[in-house]
Amino acid sequence: MEMGWRWDFTYEILPQMAIATLNTILAAGVGYAIALIVGLFFLLAQRTPSKIFNWVNREIVEFIRSTPLLIQLFFVYFVLPQFGITLSAWVCGMITIGLHFGTYMSEVYRGALEGVSKTQWEACRALNFSTIYTYRRIVLPQAFPIAIPGMGNYLVGIFKDTPLLSTIGVAELFHAATAVGGYNYRYLEPYTLVGIIFLTLSIPAAMWVRKLERDVNISQGKIKK
Amino acid sequence: MTYFEFLNEHGITLLLGTVTTVKVLVCSMILYVIISMIFGLMRLSKNPVIQGTATVYIEFFRGTSLLVQLFWAYYVLPFFGISLEAFTAGVVALGLNFGAYGAEIVRAGILAVPKGQWEAAHSLNFTPAKRIKRIIIPQIFPIILPPAANLTVELLKATALVALVTVVDLTFEAKQINSITWLSAQCFGTALLIYYIMARFALVPFLRWLEVLAARKVGKEKI
C-alpha cells in the first residue's frame, strides 16, 4: 500500500463525495426544520397552566437532552420495527435529530420569550390587548431577534452531528467516505476530504451566525456600531 | 424474556461498559480543562503568532465534526506513523474537540472580570503572571463554571461516540448485546437510562457543588 497523499485517488473520489455532501446538507436542513417545529411543541407544553403536564414535559426534555444522540438513533432505528413500525434510515434519522435538537430549540425559544421585558406585557394588559394580539404584535417581534443567534448555532450544531446518521446507514458524506475508504482500503484521503468539506461549509456558516448576532445586538441597541 | 431476566444476564456487561465510559469521561475531562485553560489564555495574548495559533486551533476543532476527528485520529494517523490505541485516540479527540469549545468559555470568562480588578492589580505593581494567577483566575471560576457544566454534560454524551472506534464502552456493549439477542428496546433503553442517571444524578450535582464552592471562594453566597 502506498503511503502519503495520492492526488489521483482524491480526484477519483471527489464527485462521489460532492454528491454525498448534498445529502448531508439535505439531512441537516430537514432535521433543522423538524427541530424548529418540535421545539415549538415543547415550548407550548412548557407554558400550559397544568403543573403535572409541565413537570412531565420538563422531565422528557431533560431526558432527551442528557442522553447521547447516537443511542437515541439506535433506539429509534432498532426498536420501532419491533412494534411493527418499519421506517427507512432516513426517516428515523430525521425524527431523532428533530426530537433531540427540538428540546434544545425549545430552550432557545423560552430564553427569547423571557428576554422580552415584563413591562411590555403589563403595558399590553393596560391597553386591553388580547393575549394573541400581544404575542403577535408586541412580544414575538421582540423575542425573535433574541432567538436568532441560538437558532443559528444549532443549525451549525445539527450540521456537525449529521455524520452520526452514517451509523444507521444514511448515505451522507461520512457514510460515503467510509464506503469509499473500505472499498479501496485507503482512509487518508476520504476522511481528510470530509474534514475539509465540513470546514469549508461550517466556518462561513458560523461566521454568518456571529455577524447576525452582532447585527441583532446593534439593532437592539446593546452595542454600538 | 422479562426485563429482570435481561438485566440478570446482561446487567454486568453493561455495568462494565459503564466503567469504561466513566474512565473515558474522566480522562477527557481532565484533558479538555487543561487545553481550554491554555488556549483560552493564548487567545487573549497580544502576540499575533500565539493568538493566531489559538484561533486556528479553535476554529478547526469547532468547525469539523467530532466523529470525523475521532475517525481521523484512529484510522488516518497511522498513515503518518502515529498509531494510537482506541482508548487513547478517543480521549485525545474528545479532549481536543471540547478543549476548543472550553477555550472560548475561558476567554469569555477572563473578559468578563471587571476592568477595575486588572487596574487595581496593576496599580499594586503585581507582575503580569501574578496578576493572572492571583487576581484574575480565582475570579473567573464563578463565571465560567455554569457554561462549563453544560459543556461537560455534552462531553458525557459525546463519549458514546468512542464506541464507533472500537472502545468497549456502554454504547459498544449495548450494540453488542443488541446484535446477539435482538432485544433492542431492553438494551438501548437500559443504556439510555444509565446515561441519564449518570448525567442527572452524578455529574450535574457534582458540577453544581463545584459552582457553589467557587462562588463561596470569592465571597458570593448566592446561587
Where residue B135 sits, what CATH number does that domain have? Answer: 1.10.3720.10
Calculate mean pLDDT across residues A191-218.
88
> Helices (DSSP H) in chain B: which residue ranges?
3-43, 48-63, 66-71, 86-112, 115-123, 128-130, 137-158, 170-181, 184-197, 204-217
Q: Locate the chain B residue with the closest alpha carbon to A206.
A: B63
Q: Which of A17-21, A48-52, A162-166 has the weakest average pLDDT? A: A48-52
CB–CB of B191 and A71 under 8 A?
yes
Tell whether the model's pLDDT for residue B183 goes beyond 90.
no
* Exposure on the CB side of residue A144, measured as CA atoms within 13 A: 7
B117-174 pLDDT tens trace: 889 988 999 988 888 888 888 888 888 999 999 999 999 999 999 999 999 999 999 9
Tell me the residues of chain A between 165 and 184 that have a Cβ less than 8 Å away from chain B: 166-167, 174, 178, 181
User: What DSSP string describes chain A?
Assistant: ---S--HHHHHHHHHHHHHHHHHHHHHHHHHHHHHHHHHHHHHHHHTSS-HHHHHHHHHHHHHHHTS-HHHHHHHHHHHGGGGT----HHHHHHHHHHHHHHHHHHHHHHHHHHHS-HHHHHHHHHTT--HHHIIIIIIHHHHHHHHHHHHHHHHHHHHHHGGGGGGGT--SHHHHHHHHHHHHT--HHHHHHHHHHHHHHHHHHHHHHHHHHHHHHHHTTSS--
* Predicted pLDDT at B181: 87
What distance in Å separates the CA atoms of residue A36 and residue A109, rounded to the nearest whole number? Answer: 10
Q: How many angstroms separate the CA of residue B37 from the nearest CA in chain A?
A: 23
Calculate mean pLDDT across residues B112-117.
89
ipTM of the complex: 0.89
What distance in Å separates the CA atoms of residue A90 and residue A27, rounded to the nearest whole number? Answer: 8
Domains in chain B, number:
1
Q: Locate the chain A residue with the closest alpha carbon to B154.
A: A66
* Predicted pLDDT at A47: 84
- Provide the mean pLDDT of chain A: 90
Calculate mean pLDDT across residues A206-220.
83
Tell me the C-alpha to C-alpha distance, in Å, between residue A97 and each of A91, A150, A157, B156: 10, 17, 11, 18
Q: Which CATH number fits domain A7-219: 1.10.357.10, 3.40.1710.10, 1.10.3720.10, 1.20.1560.10?
A: 1.10.3720.10
Tell me the C-alpha to C-alpha distance, in Å, between residue A31 and each of A39, B117, B210: 12, 46, 36
**Are B50 and B42 a contacting pair, CB within 8 Å?**
yes
Tell me the C-alpha to C-alpha distance, in Å, between residue B181 and each of B13, B188, B193: 13, 12, 19
pTM of the model: 0.90
DSSP state of B64: S
B127 vs B217, residue with greater confidence: B127
Tell whether the model's pLDDT for residue B210 goes beyond 80.
yes
- Provide the mean pLDDT of chain B: 91
CB–CB of A160 and B66 under 8 A?
yes
* Predicted pLDDT at B220: 66
B200 neighbourhood in chain A, CB within 8 Å: 62, 66
Calculate mean pLDDT across residues A121-135.
92
Q: Locate the chain A residue with the closest alpha carbon to B156.
A: A68
CB–CB of A187 and B66 under 8 A?
no
* Predicted pLDDT at A225: 58
pLDDT band at B190 (very low <50, low <70, confident <90, very high): very high
B156 neighbourhood in chain A, CB within 8 Å: 66
CB–CB of B195 and A78 under 8 A?
no
Contact partners, residue B161, CB within 8 Å, separation at least 6: A68, A70, A164, B66, B67, B70, B90, B94, B171
Evaluate whether residue B210 is within a structural domain. Answer: no
What distance in Å separates the CA atoms of residue A185 and residue A177, rounded to the nearest whole number? Answer: 11
* Predicted pLDDT at B2: 83
**Amino acid in the structure at residue B25:** L
Question: Which position has the grid cell 429509534?
Answer: A76
What distance in Å separates the CA atoms of residue A186 and residue A163, rounded to the nearest whole number? Answer: 19
Share of chain B above pLDDT 70, in %: 98
Evaluate whether residue B28 is within a structural domain. Answer: yes
Tell whether the model's pLDDT for residue B222 goes beyond 60.
no
Q: Where are the domains of chain A?
A: 7-219
Tell whether the model's pLDDT for residue A137 goes beyond 50.
yes
A9 in contact with chain B, both atoms CB, cutoff 8 A? no
What distance in Å separates the CA atoms of residue A82 and residue A18, rounded to the nearest whole number? Answer: 36
Evaluate whether residue B41 is within a structural domain. Answer: yes
Evaluate whether residue B149 is within a structural domain. Answer: yes
Calculate mean pLDDT across residues B22-51.
94
Measure CA B39 to chain center: 15
* Predicted pLDDT at B158: 95
Tell whether the model's pLDDT for residue B69 goes beyond 90.
yes
Question: Which position has the grid cell 409541565?
Answer: A54
Contact partners, residue A163, CB within 8 Å, separation at least 6: A24, A172, A173, A174, A194, B65, B67, B68
* Predicted pLDDT at B221: 59
* Predicted pLDDT at A1: 52
pLDDT band at A222 (very low <50, low <70, confident <90, very high): low
* Predicted pLDDT at B223: 47
The SS3 of residue B21 is helix
CB–CB of B188 and A192 under 8 A?
no
**Are A53 and A150 a contacting pair, CB within 8 Å?**
no
What distance in Å separates the CA atoms of residue A39 and residue A43, rounded to the nearest whole number? Answer: 6
